Chains A and B, each alone.
Chain A
Amino acid sequence: SQTIHQWPATLVQPVGSPLSLECTVEGTSNPNLYWYRQAAGRGLQLLFYSVGIGQISSEVPQNLSASRPQDRQFILSSKKLLLSDSGFYLCAWTFRDRVTGELFFGEGSRLTVL
């Protein structure tokens, strides 16, 4: 069976510090990968998605970047965090070749920037 792991679960960082959130998927190959941000009253906002190694699409301009160094690894990064980067970040995956529309979500990472 497939699993998705996301870490760290909680992170408190000062303004201007770097960020690295990591997500890995097990039990499948060639998944589509996604980073969402969940904010109260604003729903889930798609930040980045990837259909393959090194292929990253950004949905919204922001202070964050994403990378996919391996097939089942997806990393969310920032060189210098802003207060507005605080939030709950969700990684998700789906089968690339199936039109199911079902996303499988990780447990999330809560980032607080002080």
Chain B
Amino acid sequence: AQRVTQPEKLLSVFKGAPVELKCNYSYSGSPELFWYVQYSRQRLQLLLRHISRESIKGFTADLNKGETSFHLKKPFAQEEDSAMYYCALSGGLTGGGNKLTFGTGTQLKVEL
């Protein structure tokens, strides 16, 4: 079974401070990890995926297989980063196509 754990329901930081949203996973195979974001009154959307190794809106995430973690980081938080962030895991196309297992989400609040 696959599982995603986000230990923090709410993370509050000041503008300009570093941000780290934690995500740990459990999966027996080779996982694909993602971060999704939901801004206020907007649709849930993909932020970044580990295979792309890209930085989106200043955010990065590194897959650490030894620690089974995929933490989301940004060196300097901006007010517009305030949103709900979900970590998600996919086992690929096996058995019915790209099912994503989501964590419980972390609400990031960036204060001035």
**What residues of chain A have their CB less than 8 Å away from a CB belonging to chain B?**
32, 34, 36, 41-46, 49, 51, 57, 59, 90, 94, 96, 99-103, 105-108
Q: In the complex, what's the smallest C-beta–C-beta distance from B94 to chain A, in angstroms?
A: 10
Interface-side segment among B11-19, B58-66, B70-78, B99-107:
B99-107
In the complex, A101→B94 CA distance in Å?
12
Contact A32 B97 (CB under 8 A): yes
**CB proximity of B50 to chain A, nearest CB, Å:** 10
Q: For residue B87, which residue of chain A has the nearest CB?
A: A43
Residue pairs across A and B with Cβ atoms less than 8 A apart, 15 shown, are A32-B98, A34-B99, A42-B104, A43-B6, A43-B103, A43-B104, A44-B102, A46-B100, A51-B97, A100-B49, A101-B49, A101-B88, A101-B100, A103-B46, A105-B44
B49, A51: Cβ atoms closer than 8 Å: no
Contact residues of B between 17 and 55, Cβ < 8 Å to A: 32, 34, 36, 43-46, 49
- A51–B96 touching, CB < 8 Å: yes
- Chain B residues with Cβ under 8 A from A36's Cβ? 102
Task: Determine which residue in B32, B93, B98, B104 has the highest number of CB atoms from chain A within 10 A of its CB, and name it.
Answer: B98
If A32-B96, A46-B99, A106-B43 are given as contacts, then 4 extra A-B residue pairs at C-beta distance below 8 Å, sorted by A number, are A32-B98, A44-B105, A90-B44, A94-B98
Taking residues whose C-beta sits less than 8 angstroms from the other chain, chain B's interface range is: 20 to 34
Interface residues of B (CB under 8 A from A): 4, 6, 9, 32, 34, 36, 43-46, 49, 86, 88, 90, 92-93, 96-105
Provide the bound-state CA to CA distance between A105 and B103, in Å. 16
B104–A46 touching, CB < 8 Å: no
Residue of A nearest to B92 (CB): A99
Contact A103 B100 (CB under 8 A): yes
Which residue in chain A gives the minimum CB-CB distance to B102? Answer: A44
Chain B residues with Cβ under 8 A from A105's Cβ? 43-45
Complex A-B, nearest 5 residue pairs according to Cβ-Cβ distance, in ascending order:
A43-B104, A44-B102, A101-B90, A32-B97, A105-B44
